[in-house]
Chains A and B, each alone.
Chain A
């Protein structure tokens, strides 16, 4: 998945017509997010701390982006996103969804991936991180997949290297560009030997 887009301060963005749904755990958290979105130029954001109200809103309004803390109402946010996707009520079932979670509960981490959300952000929210992610989901080229109980963006990411200008965070990230091969390719026998179980005598 390519993340190569221009995030320089002079790049123009127009979010003035975007209609955003914010589902947060507290009114203060919703206010924080609402203020950040206002700063981005988003004129219409609907904020709620109630899943029932959020479900009503998606029935009657078309949203261009949904930002939700899945832990709202004791984890009901996960089901809300899953139901939104699997309900297949267009166009909101295809709206980009960003999950924003606070402390990751051990029991809930695995659920996030299967909701059908486009992206997951860890709180605390900072304007630059949120804007990056909004731009990312806007340019997300992954197809939607409907398979078994899952509906949402394809969960398989194609790794296309580190984002430009980044050194990576993992010790296994290769920091320098790869050059041309300096030795001949290995033979198939050499490769097979890597996988071949061998008896070891101690």
Chain B
């Protein structure tokens, strides 16, 4: 039987937080948003490059290592675009990640991946990608497509 030891190490962060000086939470959040804004341009360029790489990869023959590389890039796009308010691009990238992580191998998979990437390229510039309801419909469509391919696999997993 293993021995369980419980103890309370010193929490330096808690002590620091209460030290005199610093800033208010309101100022900290304002400064953080401003600091983030200062790197927006370079991050947007990086996102454009990642979308281009993703499109090139999708044109290559399917295999596990290609899918893994595509998953990693889609995951980066999901995280990075979301921090800059591109929530629809982020959501589309999330849907693509789910699809690529699922191990689905149905014949429609390649087309579903292409639809995701085309939508992501459009949603990178939301002001040019139709009004909000049109963009919401695109996202809903992507989620449906992914769910149609992924859900049967999850059901299969839970019954085996």
Contacts and interface: CB of A to CB of B under 8 A. Distances in A.
A174 B38 CA distance: 43
B5 A146 contact: yes
Interface stretch (B55-63, B72-80, B107-115, B133-141): B72-80
Interface of B: 2-14, 16-26, 28-36, 38-39, 42-43, 46, 71-72, 74-76, 78-83, 90, 94, 97-98, 101
B49 to A, nearest CB: 10
A25 interface: yes
Interface residues of A, number: 56
A125 B79 contact: yes
Contacts of A32: 36, 39, 43, 80, 83
Contact of A105 (B18, B22, B101): B101
Q: Is the contact region of chain B dominated by helix, strand, or loop, or is it mixed?
A: helix
Contact of B94 (A11, A17, A103, A106): A103
Residue with the highest number of chain A CB atoms closer than 10 Å, among B16, B26, B79, B94: B79
Interface of A: 7-18, 25-26, 28-29, 31-32, 35-41, 64-65, 71, 90-91, 94, 96, 102-103, 105-106, 123-128, 131, 134-135, 137-140, 143-148, 154
A148 B135 CA distance: 50
A25 B77 CA distance: 12
Given A35-B39, A91-B9, 17 more contacts: A9-B25, A10-B26, A12-B24, A14-B19, A15-B17, A25-B72, A28-B43, A29-B80, A35-B32, A36-B36, A64-B13, A96-B13, A103-B75, A103-B98, A106-B101, A124-B83, A127-B33
